[in-house]
Structure 1
Amino acid sequence: MNRKLSRFLAFILCAILVVVLGNNSFATAPRTTEILWDNYGIPHIYGKDVQSAFRAFGWAQMQSHANLLLRLYGQARGKAAEYWGEDYLESDKWVVTMGVPNRANSWYQAQSPAFRSYINAFANGINTYANAHPDLIDDEVEIVLPVKPEDVLAHLQRVLYFTFIVNQEQVADNTQTQPKAGSNGWAIAPKHSASGKAMLLANPHLLWSDLFLWYEAQVTAPGMNAYGASLVGIPVLAIAFNDNLGWTHTVNTHDGWDLYDLKLSNGGYLLDGKVRPFTTEKFLLKVKQKNGSLVEQPLLVKSSVHGAVVQEKEGKALALRVVGLDRPGVLEQWWDMAVSQNLDQFQKVLQRLQLPMFTVMYADRKGHIMHLFNGLVPIRQQGDFQYWQGLIPGDTSKTLWTTMHLYQDLPRVIDPPSGWLQNANDPPWTTTFPAAIKADDYPAYMAPRGEMDFRAQSSAKMLAEDDQISFAEMIQYKHSTNMELAERILDDLIPVAQKSGNQLTRRAADILAAWDRNADADSRGAVLFSLWWQEMSKGEIFSIPWSEKSPRTTPDGLKDPESAAKALQIAATKVEKAYGKLDVAWGEVFRVRSGNLDLPANGGDGDQGIFRTLYFAPAKDERFQAVAGDSYVAAIEFSQPVKAMALLSYGNATQPGSPHITDQLPLFARKQLRPIWRTRPEILANLEERKTF
């Protein structure tokens, strides 16, 4: 080869290299870390390495939620009363009694060296933002600074273990009932989708405030490119997808805590006929007074082998036992779930069983779908699910569980014949039809064998009745406000009410007959039906009770139509008095409000079978305001490229002055999702702000 030809080839190679590098197609890590903020306030993080991505995620969460994040971390320390006064004292007692601050320290030491450095980086990002923008942070929360990496783990524990698994109200009432907030999740196989591609629907329903707020983000680093959502203050995505797979969580019917009834004797408690001493630890909680001074309040925490004593009176004591407090790897498991590229890798991560609860609904590019009843389920020597909902005898080691079921013991189905999976907080037995997980194959305490509620029935009905669901149809179904309850009982109520001797009852019956059975903003009859149901929902209502043999079509019919007609008269009287007309539109009464926004709502109580779930609190003007329900929604189709849309109902920020406080609420009120931008050209075309580190 002559010298001229060699130079010419070298020139061509250099030119190609310049083009490749200029287009970011060359597989090298970027030299800088940056956050690209799109015009919905979603941070797209590009980390030059993983630590830098965590640091940028800490910065991003502060820019969007600094005041909230710092307040939550202060509460997780058990020092909120010291910082902000007596209103936080009960919270501090709960956090300290549960051992959260001390356990956060031991969990931090137990992290792998690499992941410990990532948590350090996240905390560093929080503090770096605070140092750069002290003027944007409320004075009263600055006392929490600087944030320590242990605070991140304390917050995780307070949220996951001592709010989601068990909370103060449940312990005080000795009830295992779950809060109304829940979730929907769908996984659709290629055989059941119009495109021949697997699809995933993520749809948690949580309170629209406090530690329940979701934060939407994209995190890109070497070996990682995931998009999804995390709860504020959590340093990894908890619901996410990448180019090859995705998952969502639903709150499952998981029993992760028990209250043990201890028999007291000689200053201790009885166990297997012997007196055991309590272990004790003394704490001094500080409480800020209105004049700024601090008053110390002693707290004595007593523990048995079961756990911390949470009630003690009249010669009795109750001790609380909670799963998973010895498993510090939750965050790393979530991170590695997002790094996984196929079902085998994903399941290997799940097998660690660090995540103590939540159903996992999964779909991937290769067409696999999965439902996993995930969680730490104690191996129990006796009793069914219902038995373990009550007080457990604490005087015998036969009731003291110490080991957990392995991954292979948990209810799970992969690629069912139906081609679809759903969960709407119902037990795993009703995830698809024909049934793919049979309750008889599992211990009686694994999950309840009870009623499939109307929301879950509505969920399964939509999936079962459409053999070829398109991406657009999945989004349409997601927004369904059809009241399955109304479909079951109006055919019994209306004829009886139309024959009533009371004119108001007959008018009400005619309105219900004309109603579309939905809770859309313009639905007329939904308000009347909802108030009638409040009058009715006591005692036995249905003529045909729920049956395990017909889980999707029962209960059905009214047991006492005459009494139902009388209840309709009462409800009609209340509606007409409050709103001046019987056929008031749903959206006139039920609203979504924030700041200057006051919009008509669509959606309602999941107990009535509404898939588009919203929960309301009374407002002063005889209206009701949404306070919980549909929060984060993501619809994903694993096509090439991935097709995805999302909505964060209340917006991706709470920090005063942010344009993204409730900027998505008008879309929410119109039952619309917005596009997810994941590629760099898409993000740059919708760029609001760039931050480079």
Structure 2
Amino acid sequence: MNYSFRGPFLRCVLATLATFTLAACGEDTVPEPPPIAAPGYEATIRRTRHGIPHITARDLGSAAFGQGYAFAQEHVCALADQVLKVRSERARFLGAGAGNANVASDFGYLALDVYGRAREALPRLPADVKSMIEGYVAGYNRYLEEVGPAGLPPGCVNAAWVRPISDVDLMAYHVSLALLMSSYQFVAAVTNAQPPTTTGGMRITVPSPEAFKELRDHDTGSNGWAIGAERSRGGRGMLVANPHFPWQGELRLWESHLTVPGVMNVYGASLLGVPGVLIGFNENVAWTHTVSAGQRMTLYRLKLVPGKPTHYLYDGQERQMTAREHTILVRLPEGSLTNVKRTLYSSHVGPMLAIPGATDWTSTVAFTYRDANLENSTLLAQFHAMNRARNLQEFKEAFATIQGIPWVNTLAADRDGNTWYADAAATPDLSSAAIDAWRTASSGADPQATLFLRNLNLVLLDGSTSVNEWVATPGGRSPGLIPFARVPQLARRDFVFNANDSYWLTNPAEPLPDLSPLHGPTRRSQQPRSRMNLVMLTEQTAEGASGADWKFTLDELQAAILSNRGLVAEMLRPGVVERCQATPTATYQGRSVDLTRACAILAAWNGRFDVDSVGAVLWREFIGTYLVNQLLNKGTLFDTAFDVNAPFTTPGTLTPAPAQGEDPMLVKLAQAVTLLASSNIALDAPLGTVQFTPRRGLRIPMHGGHNRDGVANVVNYGTIQSTLIDVPPPRARLLNGETGLTADGYVITSGSSFLMALEFTDTGVQARALMTYGQSSNPASPYYSDQTELFSGKQWRDIRFTEEQILGDPALVVQSVSAP
């Protein structure tokens, strides 16, 4: 039977056009999607409890057809909006947007030419991958045809911009996904890049330099554990997947199971609109990903020719930037359309960009960049090969031969108890001379390069010399990328892990050697969350994560990743309590603050960030009075410096109180007490009464912490997305930017997303999972918040993978879908 879930979506954000330049010429044309002539698809969709679709079909194209259809039932508006984005048609249908955001997006994606790149790449894809794109598109379009414009969810009901999509549309969207950790951040800055002689024209609102850091921040990362035979109670491979991603927009994950008998049987989660599985398992291999700490692009500062702001010097010679005029259609407030044109520029390495206050285009300098993923058209082929791998060796060969991983580390375990880690993300290959020059520049010799690395984790190079060009080494996916043979990787029989620090301590028993610094920094202090991961993986006590036998069970893996232990609290809380009890007063803002009750609360707290934890809120606000870098180095908080030989126990110990005068640490505690009092939050408030996610008018209590808390299970407020629908709810007045405390508490819209704990057994795969925000973005769907409530209570659900498990589900609903 056919069915669809309908309910109120958040409306698209529309705004008026500010200032623009009219043009008589036609807009950059992207062809209308052609009618789809499906070659004949048939699939069976069996939904088990919580809306998980198990799709079976006779061939890969039909399996993708069923997946595209099932996906559209839950997220049709989201993909329609993303296709509108990559077709550079947002302003045409939705108006210019606040701060000309839609105009900036349209011009930016035209400048990146994602649609043209997709059109060129599609015919070169392997036949099986191309068939999956075609099938997915046909399934999505079949759903649109069945429900009609009036049957769509309110977020896009009767919207003219929801149309059948083409293979090129979907491929262009995949190209854009590969740019998440690079050009995705700079679309508005590319549109904003104009020579200083340009007057008038369109005003573009560009995020501040600090805003670009949000995508690269560790709270938008993940934890990944692959456990081998030596640390597994059952003697086979085990896996923990814990990606931290937004709970809204195109970066949501969606769970499904695809079976083509004799060809593929894979289960897991994918980003919206991507056929197949990105994180998951088959009968022989399980894998997960974490965002890589490496670099996906390099920025270049160009020295301009005096009096010629679009000419720059390169190896002492004058070069002219390439200028291309683009034209788009923009809907005006009264509904009419007008042409808007803009000339955008590029150097020989890539687009120009201008971020106010950071990379301004002046009469003497301008900025450009090169993106390692702008030519990545093999993302889907990469994951398709992983989905079908029959063993770990085939899994690795997919990396060596395709090299399509865009911006993540990979951690894998197989049924024989082997584990493997690789940071195979696309990484620029620089010469030793270029690396040496950059290290000197970013260590203080060049203040701008130093700030870019320190504050934004971006590499800024001198663009006036060919020394800083990428090296075209044989074996790379594209010229200038580090080939797979030279990427960080490690195979072990005990464990490999990553929590968004670099590859160096994938396993502390075998630290990886220094490689290109563009893979990420080594031999430096690890973030608190990485240290907490390492503590749980290596502690050998009866009370430890893996118990007295030091071998994990599936239950122990689940308990560990959601234990909500705080590394910073475990290290420092006893010392803080001791000093607070000895001197239970401190002066803050000229007032004496009684710390007696605060001391008692922290003394009784167990150091965890569970829903019922009393003391977690107080501790977070106390630690939130320190800057992040004070959690990584010796100084005002830690007394022991980082030791490369003890990387997950240092820095450590509490900095002692001064011999005379007030204790600065107690002043910080007094500051936290004062803030909570002024916010009408009780010092003994359980975390779940303050930390919550809003769902259907309810406040669902949330456990979990922040990276700076040293909690593996990260939850926070995030706004990373380019979709204009399914947006995060607004927050009340922000009281503490370091902790996210608002007048309404801690609002959660991001963090742990698809949780999976898995073990291979002698009889198959046993796995459990949680999709923290549910399977559907439609608030009227029964799958919108059902798993959010499970997550609040740490109630994992069994993954149904075998026929017996699927057919045994009392909530099973079967649907056959087809296209002629």
TM over 0.5: yes
Deviation of 1:397 (Å): 0.9
Residue 657 of structure 1 aligns with an amino acid whose one-letter code is A
Aligned to 2:231: 192
Q: CA deviation at 1:173?
A: 5.3
Residue 151 (structure 2) aligned to one of 136, 145, 157: 136
The AA in structure 2 aligned to 1:676 is I
Matched residue type, 1:688 = V
| Contact preservation (8 Å) 1:73, 1:144 | no
RMSD: 2.2
For 1:242, the equivalent position in structure 2 comes to 282
Q: Secondary structure at the match of 2:749?
A: strand
Where does 1:385-396 land on structure 2 (aligned, <5 Å)? Answer: 387=442, 389-396=458-465
The yes-or-no answer on 1:378 pairing with 2:378 is no
Give the SS at the match of 1:167: helix
Distance in 2 of aligned mates of 1:366 and 1:573: 56
**Secondary structure at 1:139's aligned position in 2?**
coil
Aligned match of 2:94: 84
Unaligned runs of 5+ in 1: 1-29
Counterpart position of 1:63: 73
1:690 aligns with 2:792: no
Which residue in 2 is equivalent to 1:565? 666
2:320 matches 1:277: yes
* Counterpart code for 2:536: M
In the alignment, the residues of structure 2 paired with residue 142 and residue 659 of structure 1 have an alpha-carbon distance, to the nearest angstrom, of 27
Match of 1:447 in 2: 520
Letter in 1 for 2:482: H
CA contact (8 A) 2:528 2:710 kept: yes
> Partner residue of 1:602?
703
The aligned runs of 1:115-514 (5 Å cut-off) are 115-134=129-148, 135-137=150-152, 138-139=156-157, 141-163=159-181, 167-168=185-186, 177=213, 178-179=216-217, 180-222=219-261, 223-265=263-305, 266=308, 267-311=310-354, 313-315=361-363, 316-351=365-400, 352-381=402-431, 382-383=434-435, 387=442, 389-402=458-471, 403-416=480-493, 419-439=494-514, 442-449=515-522, 450-465=524-539, 466=546, 467-500=550-583, 502=585, 504-514=594-604
| Cα contact 1:84–1:140 (8 A) shared by 2 | no
Quick check: 1:263–1:269 contact (8 Å CA) kept in 2? yes
Give 2:193's aligned residue.
none
8 A contact 2:176–2:184 mirrored in 1: no
Question: Aligned pair in 2 of structure 1 residues 485, 656: CA closer, same or farther (>3 Å)?
Answer: closer
Give the Å deviation of 1:31.
10
Distance in 1 between residues matched to 2:681 and 2:429, nearest whole Å? 58
Counterparts in 2 of 1:118 and 1:75: CA distance versus 1, 3 Å: same
Deviation track 1:514-571 (CA, whole Å, cap 9, x = no partner) reads 1110111111111111111122227643222323221110121333641110111121
Name the structure 2 match of 1:644. 767
Contact 2:243–2:290 (8 Å) recurs in 1: yes
Give the residue type in structure 1 aligned to 2:293.
Answer: T
Aligned mates of 1:196, 1:188 — CA distance in 2: 10
Matches within 5 A, 1:31-70: 32-70=42-80
Count residues in correspondence: 660
> Residues 601 and 31 of structure 1: is their aligned pair in 2 closer, same or farther, counting only changes over 3 Å?
closer
CA distance in structure 2 between the aligned counterparts of 1:373 and 1:31, rounded to whole angstroms: 37
Of stretches 629-638 and 371-380 in structure 1, the one that deviates more from structure 2 is 371-380
Contact 2:85 2:105 in 1 (8 A): yes
1:60 and 1:70 mapped to 2: Cα distance?
15
1:219-246 C-alpha deviation (Å, 9 max, x unpaired): 1114100000100111221112001111
> Alpha-carbon deviations, 1:47-68, whole Å to 9, x = none?
1111111111111110111111
Alignment CA distance shift 1:673-1:164 (3 Å): farther
Deviates more, 1:505-514 or 1:113-122: 113-122
**Greater mean deviation of Cα atoms: 566-575 or 555-564:** 555-564
- Change in CA separation of 1:165 and 1:187 when aligned onto 2, cut-off 3 Å: farther
Does the 8 A contact of 1:455 with 1:606 survive in 2?
yes
Counterpart residue number, 1:22: none
Q: SS where residue 496 of structure 2 aligns?
A: strand
Which of 661, 666, 669 lines up with 2:784 in the alignment? 661
Which amino acid counterpart does residue 577 of structure 1 have in structure 2? S
Counterpart CA distance in 2 for 1:566 and 1:643 is 50
User: Which region of structure 1 is more displaced relative to structure 2, 619-628 or 380-389?
Assistant: 380-389
Task: Report the Cα distance in structure 2 between the residues aligned to 1:324 and 1:122, rounded to whole angstroms.
Answer: 23
What corresponds to 2:115 in structure 1?
101
SS at match of 1:665: helix
From the two aligned structures, give the one with the greater helix fraction. Answer: 1
2:291 corresponds to which letter in structure 1?
Answer: V
Residues 70 and 141, structure 1, Cα contact 8 Å, conserved in 2 = no
Does the CA-based 8 Å contact 1:174-1:391 persist in structure 2? Answer: no
The amino acid that maps onto 2:564 is T
Change (3 A) 1:356 1:165: farther
Cα distance in 1 for residues equivalent to 2:78 and 2:765: 33
Rate the CA distance shift 1:463–1:47 in 2: closer, same or farther, 3 A: same
Cα distance change on mapping 1:139 and 1:438 into 2, 3 Å: same
| Deviation, structure 1 residue 165 | 6.8
Tell me if the contact between 1:70 and 1:142 (Cα under 8 Å) persists in the aligned partners: no
CA deviations on 1:625-668 (whole Å, 9 max, x unpaired) are 21110000111111122101111011001135321111111110
SS of equivalent residue, structure 1 residue 60: helix
Calculate percent identity across the aligned residue pairs.
Answer: 28
Give the secondary-structure state (helix, strand or coil) at the position aligned to 2:273. coil
2:751 matched to which residue of 1?
629
Query: Quick one: distance in 2 between partners of 1:217 and 1:583?
Result: 42
Amino acid at match of 2:56: Y
Per the TM alignment, residue 669 of structure 1 is displaced from its structure 2 partner at its CA by 0.1
User: Are the equivalent residues in 1 in contact too, given 2:226–2:496 (CA < 8 A)?
Assistant: yes
Which of 567, 584, 593 lines up with 2:685 in the alignment?
A: 584
Contact 2:225 2:497 survives alignment (8 Å): yes
SS in 2 for 1:86: coil
CA distance in 1, matches of 2:570, 2:260: 50
CA contact (8 A) 1:518 1:526 kept: yes
Q: Helix, strand or coil: the match of 2:816? A: strand
Q: Which has the higher contact order (CA 8 A, sep 6+)?
A: 2
